[in-house]
């Protein structure tokens, strides 16, 4: 399903409302809400709206926050997805409900540590109630980059990864986890994404060079929240 918004402002408002509605639904159904967040700049505005809506009737202490991916940097680093989210949203959330990717000696050790955290929390393949994802202009999502070995990972839940175009090394949840979520929601904004988004949404099932096109929930729903600029070629 696709929802197209006039501006990133209205997209962020809708994404925050979707978070709240999904959280209320999950908490009513099972007493908890497991959410995997994405990084980058697009979700930041949504986090700020959620922080502003804190008095909305949600049992924030029944929400458990994870990250679909992280840069291989300390949690205090300005590049950290966790730091961006903590600064924008998490100051009121109990620390034992927030599961950042641990920093370690190497990306592989950080990925292994996060995999262990997930195994301690989930008895089987994690099923997030909601998984937010972004999309890069190269078609990456989470930190599943074109050409990365992480794309081929079928058993590990977390993998080290990096973009062939350079940039910081990364840690990412893998397709088996991301595709097992009950709801997956892409947030895509900006004209620079338009060409890639057109290709991703029209990609053949076997398309490997556009990782975002390989997000096909095995039993959940997929929602694209897109602003008009990114949707301009659809």
Query: Where do runs of H (alpha helix) occur along 162-212?
Result: 175-178, 194-202
Among 69, 115, 153, 227, which residue sits at the site for ligand 6PG (rule: CB under 6 A)?
Answer: 69
Number of other CB atoms surrounding residue 118 within 10 Å:
17
Cβ distance to ligand 6PG smaller for residue 162 or 180: 162
- Rounded Cα distance, 110 and 21, in Å: 32
Q: For the purposes of burial, counting CB atoms within 10 Å of the CB of 123, is it exposed (0-12), middle (13-18) or buried (19 or more)?
A: exposed
Render 139-166 in DSSP notation, one character per residue.
S-BTTB-TT-GGGG-SS-SEEEE--TT-
- Select the residue interacting with ligand 6PG from 141, 161, 174, 214 (CB under 6 A): 141
Do 125 and 180 form a contact (C-beta atoms < 8 A)?
yes
Write down the least CB distance from residue 55 to ligand 6PG, Å. Answer: 27
The two three-digit tokens of residue 82, written as one number: 């966790």
Q: Does residue 142 touch ligand 6PG according to CB under 6 A? A: yes
C-alpha Rg value of the chain to the nearest Å: 16
Stretch that binds ligand 6PG, among 52-60, 83-91, 130-138, 213-221 (CB under 6 A): 130-138
Residues 18-47 that bind ligand 6PG (CB under 6 A): 38-42
* 131 beta partners: 36, 184
**135 or 215: CB nearest ligand 6PG:** 135
Interaction between residue 196 and ligand 6PG (CB under 6 A): no
Between 144 and 183, how does the x/- string for binding to ligand 6PG read (CB under 6 A)? Answer: ----------------------------------------
Structure tokens at 157: 């839940």
Regarding 80 and contact with ligand 6PG (CB under 6 A), the answer is no
Q: Of these, 8, 81, 148, 174, which contacts ligand 6PG (CB under 6 A)?
A: 81
Positions in the binding site for ligand 6PG (CB under 6 A): 38-42, 69, 71, 81, 134-136, 140-143
């Amino acid at each position: 399903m696709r929802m197209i918004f006039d501006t990133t402002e209205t997209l962020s408002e809708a994404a925050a409302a979707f978070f709240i509605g999904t959280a209320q639904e999950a908490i009513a159904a099972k007493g908890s809400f497991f959410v995997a967040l994405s990084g980058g700049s697009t979700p930041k505005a949504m986090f700020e709206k959620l922080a502003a809506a804190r008095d909305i009737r949600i049992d924030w202490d029944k929400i458990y926050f994870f990250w679909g991916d992280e840069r291989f940097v300390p949690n205090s680093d300005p590049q950290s997805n966790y730091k961006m989210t903590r600064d924008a949203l998490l100051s009121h959330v109990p620390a034992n409900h927030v599961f950042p990717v641990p920093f370690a000696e190497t990306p592989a050790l950080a990925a292994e540590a996060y995999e262990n955290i997930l195994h301690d929390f989930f008895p089987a393949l994690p099923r997030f109630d909601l998984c937010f994802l972004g999309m890069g202009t190269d078609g990456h999502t989470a930190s599943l980059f074109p050409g990365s070995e992480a794309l081929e990972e079928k058993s590990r839940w977390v993998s080290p990864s990096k973009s062939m175009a350079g940039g910081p090394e990364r840690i990412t949840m893998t397709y088996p986890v991301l595709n097992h979520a009950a709801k997956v929601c892409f947030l895509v904004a900006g004209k620079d994404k338009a060409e890639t988004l057109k290709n991703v949404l029209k990609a053949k099932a076997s398309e490997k060079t556009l990782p975002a096109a390989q997000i096909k929930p095995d039993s959940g729903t997929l929602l694209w929240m897109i602003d008009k600029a990114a949707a301009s070629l659809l």
